[in-house]
Amino acid sequence: MTRRSILLPAALLIAWLSAMVVPAIGQSRAITADPEPDKANPAAMQTFQLPSHGALLNAFLYVAAGMGPHPTVILLHGFPGNERNLDVAQSIRRAGWNLMYFNYRGSWGSPGDFSFTHCIEDTQSAIAYLRDVSKAAKLRSDPNTIVLIGHSMGGFVALQTGALDPDIKAIVTISAADLGTSRIPAVPVDKRDLFAKGLAAGLAAEGMAPLAGVTPELLASEVLANAAKWNFVERAPKFSSRPVLVITSDDGLTPPNDAFVDAVKKSGNRAVSAVHIPTDHSYSDHRIALQQTVLDGLARFRHNDAPVQRP
C-alpha cells in the first residue's frame, strides 16, 4: 500500500464505525443495492437547460427518492470530460442526495466558448439555479445544502468556485488538476513563453475535439494570466471552516493536492481529509473504492462527524 492508504488503521476504523453505524451501513448499500421504491416521490431524472451568461447549457439532475428536501451535489467533469463519473453519481443518489451534472460553455454541445474562467462562472450559475426556491421545490432539493465534487479540472473548478462562495457546504476533489499554477512561480519570466508552449501541448494532448471556441494556446495564456489567484495553496484560507475531502491517485497530481491539504490544516481546519487510492487518473480499476470514499465523505459532511485522518 502507499503511504496514504485507503485502509484505516484498525483502532481508528473501529472507533469511526462505532460512531457512524447507521451512515456507514447506508453508504455501503448505496453502491450495491437499490433503495426501497417510493411511489409517492420516486427517484427521477430531470433534464433541462441551465442558463449561464447568455448560453443554455446541457444539464440534468438525478432526483433522489423520497419527499426531501434532499442535499445536492454538483458533479463537475474534467478536461475535456471523457470520464463523467456517473457511476459515482448514481451511488450518490442512492445514498439520498440529489445530483446535478452539466456541460460547461463550449463543451460537449453546450453553446458558447470554452475557457477555464467560463467553467467557474458556469458552476456559479448552477449554484444559483439550485438556490432558486421555486426550482428547489420542484426538484425536492435543499437550496441551502450544496456540495461541489470535481474530477481533474473539475476539482480545480470546485476549489475556485468554492473559494468564491462561502455558503457551499463542503468540497470533494478527485485528482484535482492545478493546471500547472503551482510550478509557474518558479519559472523565470523570460522562460514563461516556453512554459506556456509546453502547457498548450499538454492540453492539446488531452483532446480538444469536444471543446468549442478555444485553442490550447488561449487556454495556456489564461492560466498564466491567472496563475497567482488560481494557485491551490493561495485558495486554502478560504476553506478554513468547511469540510474538504481531497482524493488523489498515482497520476502525478498528488504534490499540489498535498500542499493544499497542508495549507488548509495550517489555516485551522480540522475537517479536511486526504485519501490516496493507488490507481490511474480515471480510477479505472478502483471504481468501487472511489465510490465508497466519496460516499463516506458525504456521510461525514451530512452527520458532522470527524474526518478520516491520514495513516
> Order of strands, edge to edge, in the sheet holding 55-63?
44-52, 55-63, 98-102, 70-76, 141-151, 170-174, 244-248, 272-276
pLDDT given for residue 28 in this prediction: 65
Q: What is the dihedral of CA 257, 258, 261, 263, to 10 degrees?
A: -100
Over the stretch 53-111, which tens digit does the pLDDT of each residue have?
999 999 999 999 999 999 999 999 999 999 999 999 999 999 999 999 999 999 999 99
Residue 244 pairs in a beta bridge with: 171, 272
Whether residue 26 has pLDDT greater than 50:
no
Strands (E), 175-285: 244-248, 272-276
Q: What are phi and psi of 58, to 5 degrees?
A: -70, 125
Over the stretch 220-273, which tens digit does the pLDDT of each residue have?
999 999 999 999 999 999 999 999 999 999 999 999 999 999 999 999 999 999
Whether residue 304 has pLDDT greater than 90:
no
CATH superfamily to which 10-303 belongs: Alpha/Beta hydrolase fold, catalytic domain (3.40.50.1820)
Grid coordinates representing 258 are 498535498
Residue 126: strand, helix, or coil: helix
Mean pLDDT computed over every residue of the chain:
90
- Secondary structure element (H or E) that encloses residue 160, with its range: helix 153-164
Per-residue DSSP letter, 69:
P
- Position 164, amino acid: L
Length of the chain equals 311
pLDDT given for residue 13 in this prediction: 34
Per-residue DSSP letter, 239:
G
Over the stretch 155-195, which tens digit does the pLDDT of each residue have?
999 999 999 999 999 999 999 999 999 999 999 999 999 99
Residue 171 pairs in a beta bridge with: 148, 244
Q: For the chain, state the CA radius of gyration.
A: 19
Q: Where are the domains of the chain?
A: 10-303
- Say if residues 137 and 111 touch (Cβ distance below 8 Å): no
Q: Measured between alpha carbons, how far is residue 125 from residues 36, 131, 228 in Å?
A: 33, 10, 24
